[in-house]
Structure 1
């Protein structure tokens, strides 16, 4: 913390909603300048994302329906970190459930805060290589409507630049993976 920068004082914390994936709270704060106000926050256990790369250099993506935006969004496989689960365990589970692949080689790409203006969610990004297609089809959750795609990095970059619906965590993670993809 820079010198001279005091943190706000928490006066009151109210939990408005406790959900299956996240909680929503409102916090009454007093700022260092003595101004008081309410700040809403989504508390999230974090998520993990994987960029699967086939032996041919193609990226395994999913296109799935997202209710909040009312349409299908292009994404890398990802999921919420379950209690007592490490992010690497999350992506190993998600790659199989969403795409029907498993991987023998894993590389952590980094982590980032997804939307700090209203949430504490951190995304942990991984690269998966040396993929094996599983004999069983993907075991997607009942509430998922997923199409699996294999695209070149150039095809994904073109889709992003053309403004196709690609989620921010996938764009950010793709940027982190570029050196490993020869871009």
Structure 2
């Protein structure tokens, strides 16, 4: 199902911040139902995520420090899409950098909005299988503090249910992958 497009009428737009990964705008809009007001939005180029599964059936996750939450989250490897980059290329690079694995088989899981109440970011999710460990993985980005974690499907489900800190894109993509694999 595609997103129905009903763009609001733009009355005024202000860019408040241009950042390395996103921009922050405040716009005066007239919504399709006629209401006028000011709305804030984060403009983001989108991200790509992999649900990597080893030949032994283990999920490859990362426990990553996230400064905004002042702690570590369990996540699938993911990254921001660079300008003019295909999401499939983004995630192939990120999988290698963050986990030291390369996938030889890829399937698209789909895309979904991350936080549509304040951001236009979409996540492109992929299933990554037939993994091989790289002898010399690429260097991680300097600002990433990452530990690679292998878990069975049951262990990961238990972590979700126990309330372990796991981000929404990871939980969503896990269930998308499970549905695809059960077909």
Q: TM-score normalised to the size of structure 1?
A: 0.93
SS of structure 1 residue aligned to 2:25: strand
Q: 47-56 or 32-41, which moves further after superposition?
A: 32-41
- Answer whether contact 1:99 1:138 (CA < 8 A) is retained: no
Q: 128-137 or 54-63, which moves further after superposition?
A: 128-137
Which position in structure 1 is the counterpart of 2:122?
122
**Off by >2 Å, runs of 4+ in structure 1:** 30-36, 179-183
Q: Does 1:88 align with 2:88?
A: yes
Which position in structure 2 is the counterpart of 1:58?
58
Residues 32, 64 of structure 1: alpha-carbon distance in 2 compared, 3 angstrom cutoff: closer
Which position in structure 1 is the counterpart of 2:22?
22
- Answer whether contact 1:43 1:120 (CA < 8 A) is retained: yes
Deviation at residue 71 of structure 1 after TM alignment = 0.3
Which position in structure 2 is the counterpart of 1:3?
none
SS of structure 1 residue aligned to 2:115: coil
Residue ranges of structure 2 left out of the alignment (5+ in a row) = 1-5
SS of structure 2 residue aligned to 1:155: helix
Which position in structure 2 is the counterpart of 1:104?
104
- Answer whether contact 1:43 1:121 (CA < 8 A) is retained: yes
Q: Does 1:69 align with 2:69?
A: yes
Measured on the aligned residues, the alpha-carbon RMSD in Å equals 1.7
Q: Give me the whole-angstrom Cα distance separating, in 2, the residues matched to 1:169 and 1:104.
A: 23
Q: TM-score normalised to the size of structure 2?
A: 0.93
Which position in structure 1 is the counterpart of 2:3?
none
Residue ranges of structure 1 left out of the alignment (5+ in a row) = 1-5
SS of structure 1 residue aligned to 2:20: coil
Q: Give me the whole-angstrom Cα distance separating, in 2, the residues matched to 1:110 and 1:119.
A: 18
- Answer whether contact 2:101 2:137 (CA < 8 A) is retained: no
Deviation at residue 129 of structure 1 after TM alignment = 0.6
Deviation at residue 12 of structure 1 after TM alignment = 0.4
Deviation at residue 93 of structure 1 after TM alignment = 0.1
Which position in structure 2 is the counterpart of 1:165?
165
Q: Give me the whole-angstrom Cα distance separating, in 2, the residues matched to 1:119 and 1:33.
A: 21
Deviation at residue 32 of structure 1 after TM alignment = 4.9
Q: Give me the whole-angstrom Cα distance separating, in 1, the residues matched to 2:8 and 2:127.
A: 38
Deviation at residue 89 of structure 1 after TM alignment = 0.2
